[in-house]
Amino acid sequence: MKAEVPVQKALPSSLTPQRLVELYRTMLLIRHFEEQCAPAYRQGKMGGYMHVYIGQEAVATGFIAHMRDDDYMVCSYRDHGHALARGSDPRRVMAELFGRYTGVAKGKGGSMHLVDVERGFLGGYGIVGGMVPLAVGVGYGIRYRGGDQVCLCFFGDGAMNIGPVHEALNMAAIYKVPVVFICENNRYAMATPIDFASAVPNLAERARQYGMPTRQIEGMDLLEVYRHAEEIIHHVRTTPEPFFVEVLTYRFEGHGIADNPTNQALYRTKEEVEYWRQRDPIVSAARFLLENGLATESELLEWDAEAKQQALEAVAYADASPEPPLEELYRDVYTDMEVPEWRY
């Protein structure tokens, strides 16, 4: 039956139907994983703060799909999707959110500071824009060693108003570092709309002055992101030079766990949220799979149930995991202090 349905939009040549299904399932996993986060947070299972990526899944998924095993990436505190798209174990990611010893940062980082060095994921960062200079350093390291890896650097629109980001973009172009700067423009920095905070709201245009190629792309469509990401990462790897890409996207939920609907009503309308929800990247990818005969309704349901099951297992694993032992408190922590015995 499947073969009778014509493929309406040609898939990029590097994207087999199987791979597309894999990426679709990655987005499902991210969504289900994060749907478990707010309830768990409200039950007091997580310390620190917590931000979800719901609505933006196509961005991390579409870019990270093109990373080689030896490539690097850094991102902001809105990092669950990036870690999962990179292949970090969902159970260990959830354990990190729960502050457990089995977490990817031994429970000491929490939601905002995921890390997976084996996969070249050098961290989520809580300082807005803080990952941008770090990515330039990573890119410089790659150049210095004569490698052909790339570093993907994900950050929000708010980071474009942070001074060191501009110093870093300038240096990146001067040193021709192989970094892809991926500005996830979800239109708000907390409650501040982009056109309120940026004199030039087109961020790709703003970045053009730094002497690197720039592009603005749609971020709600997995195939669209995948296509551009492939070209851009190839360009950066082979030229090499940095590239700035502004990805137009939207977060369906509040800025962070404390940004409730009453608060959101102060800065955005229900109609606006609804407009973007209609462009849900998971729904549109599912529609594409169905319309092109690449999946059946029952397969979609099965994958959805499996992703939910994985998310529930992650919660159960995190719940059952131990707290870090007391002697871990000062281990791996950046300090030049001698830690006195009595502090353990």
Binds 255: which of ligand TPP, Mg ion, none (CB < 5-8 Å by kind): ligand TPP
Among 29, 104, 136, 159, binds ligand TPP (CB under 6 A): 159
The angle formed by the CA atoms of residues 129, 212 and 170, to the nearest 5 degrees, is 50
Q: Is the CB of 7 or the CB of 258 nearer to ligand TPP?
A: 258
Bridge partners, residue 180, by sequence: 152, 243
Dist. CA 319–CA 253, nearest whole Å: 25
C-alpha distance from residue 10 to each of 18, 154, 219 (Å):
14, 28, 19
Q: Is 273 helix (H, G, I), strand (E, B) or coil?
A: helix
Assign 3-class secondary structure to 95-130: HHHCCCCCCCCCCCCCHHHCCEHHHCEEEEECCCCC
Q: Which part of the chain contacts ligand TPP (CB under 6 A), choosing from 5-13, 123-131, 241-249, 303-311? A: 123-131
Question: Is 156 one of the binding residues for ligand TPP (CB under 6 A)?
Answer: yes
Q: What is the DSSP letter of 213?
A: -
Question: Is 126 one of the binding residues for ligand TPP (CB under 6 A)?
Answer: yes
Question: Is 253 one of the binding residues for ligand TPP (CB under 6 A)?
Answer: no
Question: Is 36 one of the binding residues for ligand TPP (CB under 6 A)?
Answer: no
Q: What does the block give as tokens for 174?
A: 């001067």
| Distance of closest approach, residue 284 Cβ to ligand TPP, in angstroms | 21
- Using CB atoms within 10 A of its CB, is residue 44 exposed (0-12), middle (13-18) or buried (19+)? exposed
Q: Is the CB of 90 or the CB of 158 nearer to Mg ion?
A: 158
Question: Is 84 one of the binding residues for ligand TPP (CB under 6 A)?
Answer: no
What's the number of CA atoms in the CB half-sphere (13 Å) around residue 290?
A: 12
Question: Is 197 one of the binding residues for ligand TPP (CB under 6 A)?
Answer: no
Q: Is the CB of 197 or the CB of 290 nearer to Mg ion?
A: 197
Among 21, 38, 127, 134, binds ligand TPP (CB under 6 A): 127
Using CB under 5 A, count the residues that bind Mg ion. 4
User: Which positions from 139 through 158 interact with Mg ion, judged by CB under 5 A?
Assistant: 156-157
Question: Is 253 one of the binding residues for Mg ion (CB under 5 A)?
Answer: no
Q: What does the block give as tokens for 160?
A: 């474009």
- Using CB atoms within 10 A of its CB, is residue 9 exposed (0-12), middle (13-18) or buried (19+)? exposed
| Distance of closest approach, residue 229 Cβ to ligand TPP, in angstroms | 18
Bridge partners, residue 264, by sequence: none
Question: Is 157 one of the binding residues for ligand TPP (CB under 6 A)?
Answer: yes
- Draw the binding track, 65-84, toward Mg ion (x: CB under 5 A; -: no contact): --------------------
Question: Is 189 one of the binding residues for ligand TPP (CB under 6 A)?
Answer: yes
Binds 106: which of Mg ion, ligand TPP, none (CB < 5-8 Å by kind): none
Do residues 180 and 242 touch, judged by C-beta distance below 8 A? yes
Residues that bind ligand TPP (CB under 6 A): 76, 78, 126-128, 156-159, 162, 186, 188-190, 255
